[in-house]
Amino acid sequence: MYHYYMFHKPFGCVTARRDDHYPTVMDYFSELHNDNLNPVGRLDRETTGLLLITDDGMWNQKLTHPAYHKEKTYEFTVLGDLTKERIRALENGVLLKGAASLTSPARITITGHNILSDILPSLHPEVQASISSNLPDHPVTFGTITITEGKKRQIRRMMKSVHCCVIELKRISIGSICLDPQLKPGEWKEFFPD
């Protein structure tokens, strides 16, 4: 009997079993005493949101292997102005530094705009410290992006390629599985995939 868990990954923990410097996502599941549990894919330390944990290796592979092209949707906040031209470039595919081919097509929806001084207090203290040297009226863009790949730090690198800097990133869905809005960061629940 396999187990499937939906986890709201908080900022600051790494997607690993063990780490010498940071807490890991698996620390949150130690009470289950199930050494066969593994994360489905990865989220970097600064990214929050939906992370699935399972002991079903075949199901894990179906969600993560590039051949299956599972859509993953994220909410983002970037420092910079995502113009129509920049959005078009991201949607058509961009060349990431060190890559040989363009990223696969993405879908982007812009949900709002602001300036840095208005949102700075709501950001994680670590992020505040890293961007505090920017001008207070620096433009900020909010939106969602859907990708089908999972290259390392892909969305951050995509945004950098169009001169924007990701300051918040939260995964909200993988395929048809959506993050339960009742789950707070650090909380998880068992669920039963279709």
Residues annotated as catalytic (active site), given as ranges: 44
Spatial distance between the Cα atoms of 155 and 76, rounded to a whole number of angstroms: 9
Say if CB 97 and CB 40 are below 8 A apart.
Answer: no
Own/partner pairs for 110-113, CB < 8 Å, 24+ apart?
110/82, 110/141, 110/142, 110/143, 111/75, 111/142, 111/143, 111/144, 112/141, 112/142, 112/143, 113/81, 113/139, 113/140, 113/141, 113/142
- Classify residue 145 by burial, with Cβ atoms within 10 Å: 0-12, 13-18, 19+: buried
* Residue at 141: amino acid letter: T
Helix or strand or coil: residue 38? strand
